[in-house]
Structure 1
Amino acid sequence: MNLWRWLTTPDPEPGFTTGKLLKLAARVALFALVATLVSSLLSLTPLGPYLNTWWGSLLFVLALYLPLARFLNVDTFVPRRLQARVDARTSGQTSKATRTQRRKERHRYAGVRKSAPRSGGRR
């Protein structure tokens, strides 16, 4: 498997598995490496003295972290398309009668403009 694809593909398993923690450590190390390289390259430019101030380093961190935030948080939230697969695996198969009953109830008043009849007498 491609290393970049492995780093950017979310893990659908719930909880912190060994693979997720390994991916997180690799992402943080890669982020620190990129931050160090960019900071050292910017220190060679006329922006160097500004990067040594607290506000310069704050702007640098924000400018670097905001684009890479999604990359660092890939495994934090499972996408809906993958969550549906996880739910289907963990809950097992729903019975055909239950699915038929839900479909029947959902389509009971399809195309009717007014609401369903109330369960009381006439008023």
Structure 2
Amino acid sequence: MTRGRSGSTRVSGGAATPSKICASCGRRFEWRAKWARSWNEVRYCSDACRRRGVTADDRAAEERIVAALSHRPRGTAVDLDSLDAPDGSETEPGSASARRELMRRAARRLADREVVVWLQGGAPVDPSTARGPVGIRLV
């Protein structure tokens, strides 16, 4: 058992908490007590993701990733940061971090659909927790 910040006790290694993948950002999120009655309907990890949803720019970014990977030999990884966001996207031209996050969100959704695999150092990693430079390849 470990103590949380609030002093509440939680059992380590106990029953697994259910989790889902956010429809907008593609990150894994855990069950929360406030969702107890509506867990089956929950699709988004946060209010921000629910407001943002999945836009045409998001779908275009997914298509761009798949197109870039399909032109390479099977099993070849591509550095995710080397891919640019689609032209005409809502992100500002000078906002590199916004374009990078758009592509990472798209790649996480593709990983959830088992279209791509995220790699760091040549080994598969969980897209929800990966930090730093990552590569992606088609499954």
Q: TM-score range by the shorter chain?
A: under 0.3
TM-score w.r.t. length of structure 1? 0.25
TM-score scaled by structure 2?
0.23
| Structure with the largest fraction of helix | 1
State the structure with bigger RCO (CA 8 A, min sep 6), 1 or 2: 1
Greater Rg by CA: 1
Higher share in strand: 2
